[in-house]
Structure 1
Amino acid sequence: MSFVCIVDDDASIRSALANLLKSAGYATVTFSSGEAFLAASDIDDALCVLLDLKMQGMQGLDVQRQLNQQQRSVPIVIMSAHGDETIVRQALSQGASGFLHKPFPEDALLDLIALAAGRKGADD
């Protein structure tokens, strides 16, 4: 079964996103840190990863770099309340499928997940 990974150090954000995605028909797996996410064994099976930019410990762009170095092909959507245009360009140039500025509309999130999932399906 395909699922969406949610990586955010804020428990309320993880819960809200998981509930939203469940109501849209997606299974989710949540992680409270970039380190916990990278330690998971089945992340390559995810439709996409919703990855917070600013977290305790490993930051979102660091997680993205690690995935790239490990040649992991899971699509990434970066989320942040702190992203300036330089950070957005950096995330996208490193291969992120999209960037969402918190707070973001639900339909923007669902559209990016569908787009990322479509890309993953095309790559498999």
Structure 2
Amino acid sequence: MNASSVIAVIDDDASVRLALQSLLRSFGYEVMLFPSAMAFLHAPERHEPDCIISDVQMPQMSGPDLQDQLVADGDTVPMIFITAFPEKAVEARVIERGAVAILSKPFDGNEIAAHVERALGSAPH
């Protein structure tokens, strides 16, 4: 684990963002929080994260649509998806496009930490 790794958390639910921030910081990561995919895309620090954890269902732009935009932009940052409404078709879509994992809420903290470590091991930076 690289303690200087930056994880972006994108979720429209503030309580989920804050819980993930607390969890990820406890593992030594720097965490950036965004309330929406659009907020992330328009942020000046958009290219800083070494890994993105994104909710699947959000207003304006979904997590999978964000993934499509990043891929179209040539941004290969590893992504982990979280969802309260697991669907096989969505899971297949995001994994096919390179997602590290898709986890159902509520998820285990150690499970998400293991996926983050795996994502960072495959990160190009």
Q: TM-score, normalised by structure 1?
A: 0.93
Listed as ranges, the gaps of 5+ residues in structure 2 are none
Percent identity over the alignment is 33
Distance in 2 (CA, whole Å) between partners of 1:78 and 1:66 is 15
Give the structure 1 partner of residue 50 of structure 2: 47
Instruction: Give the aligned CA root-mean-square deviation in angstroms.
Output: 1.1
| Greater per-residue helix proportion | 1
* Alignment pair present for 1:75 and 2:74: no
Name which of 16, 19, 22 aligns with 2:22. 19
Amino acid at match of 1:36: A
Give the structure 1 partner of residue 64 of structure 2: 61
Q: Across the two proteins, how many residue pairs are aligned to each other?
A: 122
**Contact 1:83–1:101 at 8 Å: present in 2 too?**
yes
Q: TM-score, normalised by structure 2?
A: 0.92
Amino acid at match of 1:45: E
Name which of 101, 104, 107 aligns with 2:107. 104
Give the structure 2 partner of residue 92 of structure 1: 95
